[in-house]
Each structure stands twice: as structure tokens, then as C-alpha cells.
Amino acid sequence: MLQSGHIFIVSAASGTGKTTLVSRLSTHQPDIRISISHTTRAPREGEQNGVHYHFVSRTEFEEMIAGNMFIEHANVYGNYYGTSLKAVESLTQQGFNVILEIDVQGAEQMRRLLPEATSIFILPPSMTELTERLKNRGTDSEDVIAHRLKKSREEIEQSLLFDYVIVNQELTQAEQDLLAIIRSVGLRAQAQSQTITRILTGE
Ligand code: 5GP
């Protein structure tokens, strides 16, 4: 039987470059998949349904909550976001390592529900750099930026609750750090029980 994959929770304050980091890693590593969340927010330019998110209506999302279809869900900036249990299970059963790129509220729920998952928080190099990155995105007003920064500070304060912390100073280094964490989890003795049995039985 195929060894099942592990679940990695990746969170960060907005503007930290988490999405770029995680998608780069999954492009380079075929055994790593990003879980596609459901959301009620409208697609941004270039985003495709079923690729970046499953875009659904509020009613559909609420029906999914009622049907217990999410492992976790949260309201982020007025929109719902949730991780489907079935989708994650199907990927781990196929042997993929699965990254859940979720906010800190979702991460907290996951840590409680699935303590065996590994949680990772991505930090910006500094608050000054984070402010610059948010401004340079050019998509948000001063008020929105100020609100996001306040929220970011609160989220960063929670980073000590995570298993690992990576500073995203330089993308290539951050990608290597993230990969090192994922590989070390796969090398744990417990994760290799089937390999040990195979060696002992000579199969
Ligand atoms: P965005 O709208 O910029 O794509 O995402 C906003 C925030 O929602 C990000 O912090 C992102 O990680 C988080 N998010 C995306 N999918 C999920 C999910 O399934 N559950 C939770 N709790 N947060 C999510």
C-alpha cells in the first residue's frame, strides 16, 4: 500500500508572499499539492474556478457547512473560506503531501482537530518591509492597508503557536526552508514504518 501523505498548514500575515512561495514549491516538487479551498469571495483577475479556489455562493457555502463538508472554515475580511475534508483526504491517500494555505483562525481549528499536522508560519523580514509590500501591491486604499497592518501584527503575535517559522526575506531561501521542513517530517521514523517493514520482509 502507498504510504499516505502528510498535512502542512501554512499561514502568514497578508503581504508576506505566502501564495507565491507555496505555489513555487508545489511547481518544483511533484509530491507536494496545495489544497484548493472553497470561498465566497469574487475571483480576482486571472483566477480560475477549480484552480485557485472553488468559487461558490454564500448559500452554497452555508449548505456545505451544514453538511459538515469542511475540516475548517473561517470568515476572512467578510468572505467565507473553507477546506474540504474529502479533497484533502483524497490527496493524502494518494500519497501526496498536502499544503493548506489558510489564515490563522483556520490554522487554530486545524491544530485542534488534527494535531498530527505540521504548522508553519511565514514571517515578513520586518514590519517596515511588510508595509512597503502592502503599499506596492497598489490594490488597496490607505485605510485598508492600515487595517491589514493592524491585523498582520495580531497574526504575527500568534506565530509562536506554530511548529515552525520561516522568514521570507529571500524567496529561494524561504522555499528551501519550507522544503527542508516537509522533507524532515517525511523522514520521521513513524512516517517510514512501511519502508521499515518492506526492508525487513524483503519485499
Ligand atoms: P485571498 O482572498 O487573498 O486569496 O485569501 C485571504 C486569506 O484567506 C489568506 O490568508 C488565505 O490564506 C486565507 N484562506 C484561503 N483559503 C482558506 C481556507 O480554506 N480556510 C481558511 N481558514 N483560510 C483560507
> What is the pLDDT at residue 134?
87
> Per residue in 27-70, pLDDT tens?
999 999 999 999 999 999 999 999 999 999 999 999 999 999 99
Span 125-137, average pLDDT: 90
In tens, the pLDDT along 75-96 reads: 998 999 999 999 999 999 999 9
Q: How many CA atoms lie within 13 A of 127 on its CB side?
A: 12
- In angstroms, the Cα distances linking 12 to 2, 19, 22, 162, 177 are 32, 9, 11, 11, 15
Residue the block writes with cell 451544514: 66
For the chain, give the mean pLDDT.
93
The reported pTM is: 0.93
* Dist CA 83 CA 33 (whole Å): 14
pLDDT score at 15: 84
In the chain the domains, ranked by start, together with CATH numbers, are 7-35+96-201 (3.40.50.300)
Residue whose CA lies nearest to ligand 1 atom number 14: 102
pLDDT in tens, 149-187: 999 999 999 999 999 999 999 999 999 999 999 999 999
41 lines ligand 1 (CB under 6 A): yes
Q: Is the CB of 81 under 6 A from ligand 1?
A: yes
- pLDDT band for 105, please (50, 70, 90 cuts): very high
Helix (H, G, I), strand (E, B) or coil at 96: coil
Q: How many residues does the chain have?
A: 203
Q: What is the pLDDT of residue 30?
A: 96
Ligand 1 atom, smallest distance to 82 CA: 19
- Read off the DSSP letter of residue 50: T
Radius of gyration of the chain measured on its C-alpha atoms: 18
Residue 73 CB neighbours (<10 A): 22
188 pLDDT band (50/70/90 cuts)?
very high
CB of 37 sitting under 6 A from ligand 1? yes
Confidence of residue 113 (pLDDT cuts 50, 70, 90): very high
Give residue 33 CA to ligand 1 midpoint distance, Å.
Answer: 16
Q: pLDDT band at 2, cuts 50/70/90? A: low
Atom of ligand 1 minimally distant from the CA of 107: 22
Strands (E), the chain: 7-12, 32-34, 38-39, 54-55, 70-76, 79-84, 97-101, 118-123, 164-167
- Is the confidence at residue 1, as pLDDT, over 70? no
